Amino acid sequence: MQIGKYSLDDPIAAIATALSPAALGIVRTSGEGAIDLASAIFSKPEKLKEAQGNTILHGWVLDPESKKEVDEVTVCVYREPKSFTGEDSVEFICHGGTAVVLKIYRLLIENGFRAAEGGEFTFRAFANGKADLTRAEAVNEIINSKTDINIELAAGRLSGNLFSGIEEIKQNLTAVIAAADVEIEYPEDEETSQGAFSPDLILRIIEPLKKLADSWAAEKIFIQGAKVVLAGKTNAGKSSLFNALLKEDRAIVSDIHGTTRDWLEASLNFNGIPVSLYDTAGIRYTQDSIEAIGVERSLEMSRNADLVLYLCDPKDILSAGSLNKDDSEFIKNAKAPVITVITKEDLLDTESKEKIKEILKAEKIKEPIIISSKASNGIKALSEKAYSVLAKNTGSSGFSKTASLGSERQRDAVQKALDVLKTAYQNSLEGFPLDLIVEDLEEALSFLGEITGEVRSDDILDKVFSGFCVGK
């Protein structure tokens, strides 16, 4: 059977672990005949063929042609339907050397298995009723998680909280459609149809669906991550802060103006939010054409950032008694949220710090974070402030306890359902024929079915599974 680009007829094999030296490697298989085919390269073929499901065997992988031993392995046997894919499945757990993992994989391909496509194991779990699309997407979320909060959010969806939430809304919507059908079917039977349908029934569906749609705005920053740009004039301390946040010397630090001419990128997290952090060229007018390109890139990256940490040298503020005009205009006119960061705290006394705060307050700039990258003072406070700005008052835990969305695909489907329901509600208030309203309600039900996979197309399946790695 062919569904989209996937054929369910072939037994498949794939390497499930990274191809790099490690203690263990895993090569997995699935499909009709997988156990018999896998036995061809195992030292105890009959024992493997006769093994019950959820059994672990010990033995050797043998090259069927040369009869040479390849590696000592443990073999996990699963029988349909009690496996991840719902099919017969065998997993070889071997030593994690690249050559030996590839050798076992090639032997399986040579003995009847087809190379699996990316995401094909999870697709088979979906096709065989072992997982709906929300759980399938959650598997990929967990694989790509960068923080504990990522894991918590994805684990909630993997455990079925989103599926259950969608199913409850679908059941309630189906009941509303049934009520409308009663009035359509028995328009003259007042005892049967009177009061069966009302616009308020649609409104009761809209409210929880809107809450679900809003959950994506709260969660996407934890899933997709944020782009945070360090900006400011030359020698403001951007590269020093970049290194301090990473706790390693990634950027060159120098007293010479214009040392950083291009941007540097690194990954970290602010209290659970995955962040791509960029150290950029100092912003100033320059006749150096190379540096000028770097300055323009800095400005462009700042315009497209989720957050800008704008660094100012306290010496300049104190000597002028005000914020530099260019700095002030950048902070006030930036498209992205800006946290003003005063650097070189280790060179300031208490009186100087208070004076800087007064100067910035007079210029209507929110209270800055004062740091010393050299002494690591204020770095924690800066991270916490960055988190609070990025999170925008959303909580950092507990998401997985209630239904919440985990992808733009899910958000788009919920929004389409919500838009159709709002139209149906308004039309019902204005006295539109019930059969037209039912059409809208059924369309909304179809959009909700796309989230779980009850309603599916090749485009939907490709969107879900195209991002999976081979072996999952």
pLDDT per position in the chain (472 positions), as tens?
777 678 899 999 999 999 999 999 999 999 999 999 999 999 999 999 999 999 999 999 999 999 999 999 999 999 999 999 999 999 999 999 999 999 999 999 999 999 999 999 999 999 999 999 999 999 999 999 888 888 999 999 999 999 999 999 999 999 999 999 888 887 666 555 555 789 999 999 999 999 999 888 778 888 888 999 999 888 888 889 999 998 876 555 444 444 444 568 999 988 888 999 999 876 655 445 554 555 567 777 888 899 999 999 999 999 888 888 888 888 888 889 999 999 999 999 999 999 999 999 988 888 899 999 988 899 999 999 999 998 874 544 444 457 889 999 999 999 999 999 999 999 999 999 999 999 999 999 999 999 999 998 888 888 898 888 888 8
254 has binding-site annotation: yes
Do 125 and 56 belong to one domain?
yes
Q: What are phi and psi of 370, to 5 degrees?
A: -100, 125
Cα angle, residue 86 at apex, residues 82 and 91 outer, rounded to 5°? 75
DSSP string, 125-152: HHHTTS--HHHHHHHHHHHT--SHHHHH
Residue 106 assigned ligand-binding role: no
Residue 52 lies inside a defined structural domain of this protein: yes
> How many residues appear in the chain?
472
Whether residue 232 is found in the same domain as residue 369: yes
For residue 322, what pLDDT is reported? 86
Q: Which of 106, 132, 158 is the last residue of a domain?
A: 132
- For residue 408, tell me if it sits in a domain: yes
Please identify, among 319, 341, 375, the residue that sits at the C-terminal boundary of a domain: 375
Please indicate if the annotation marks 39 as binding a ligand: no
Q: How many domains is the chain built from?
A: 3
Is 164 annotated as a binding-site member? no
Flag whether 279 is marked binding. yes
Q: Is 351 a known ligand-binding residue? A: no
| Residues 250 and 363 grouped into a single domain | yes
User: Could you tell me what percentage of the chain is helix, strand and coil, using 3-state DSSP and rounding each to the nearest 5?
Assistant: 50, 15, 35
Rg (CA), the chain: 30
Binding residue per annotation — 237? yes
**91 is an annotated ligand-binding site residue:** yes
Do residues 40 and 6 both lie within one domain? yes
Whether 136 and 123 have beta carbons less than 8 Å apart is answered as: yes
On whether 394 is known to bind a ligand per the annotation, the reply is no
* Residue 180 is labelled as binding a ligand: no
With respect to residue 432, please indicate whether it lies within any of the assigned structural domains. Answer: yes
Tell whether 205 and 235 lie within a shared domain.
Answer: no
Cα 300 to Cα 143: distance, rounded to the nearest angstrom: 32
Q: Is 130 a known ligand-binding residue?
A: yes
Asked if residue 281 belongs to a known ligand binding site, the reply is yes
343 assigned ligand-binding residue:
no
CATH assignment of the domain containing 180: 1.20.120.430
Clarify whether residues 7 and 48 are in a common domain: yes
Ligand-binding site membership of 235 (annotated): yes
Is residue 93 domain-resident? yes
Distance CA 178, CA 52 (A): 47
Among the three residues 108, 132, 156, which one is the final residue of a domain in this structure? Answer: 132
78 lies in a domain?
yes
Cα 31 from Cα 108, distance rounded (Å)? 13
Q: Does the pTM exceed 0.85? A: no
Predicted pLDDT of residue 6 = 83
Give the span between the Cα atoms of 282 and 265, in whole angstroms: 15
Instruction: Kindly list the distances between the CA atom of residue 214 and the CA atoms of 25, 82, 406, 445, in Å, as whole numbers in the listed order.
Output: 41, 37, 12, 19
| Predicted local distance difference test score (pLDDT) of residue 27 | 98
Residue at 458 is within a domain? no
Residue 370 annotated as part of some ligand binding site: no
- Does 460 fall in a domain? no
Check if the beta carbon of residue 75 is closer than 8 Å to that of residue 94. no
Q: Is residue 192 part of a domain?
A: yes
Same domain for 255 and 365? yes
> Residue 147, annotated ligand binder?
no
Task: Note whether 362 and 425 are same-domain residues.
Answer: no
pLDDT for 149 equals 87
Q: Are residues 233 and 371 in the same domain?
A: yes
| 3-state secondary structure string across 22-56 | CCEEEEEEECCCHHHHHHCCECCHHHHHHCCCCEE
Shared-domain flag, residues 206 and 308:
no
User: Would the annotation count 184 as a binding residue?
Assistant: no
Residues 82 and 160 in one domain: no
Query: What's the CA dihedral at 444, 449, 450, 453 to 10 degrees?
Result: 180
Burial category of 404 from C-beta neighbours within 10 Å (exposed 0-12, middle 13-18, buried 19 and up): buried
For residue 81, say if its preceding peptide bond is cis, omega within 30 degrees of 0: yes
Q: Is the same domain home to 112 and 177?
A: no
- The CATH code of the domain that includes 292 is 3.40.50.300
CA distance 152 to 147: 9
Domain, as residue range, for 117: 2-132
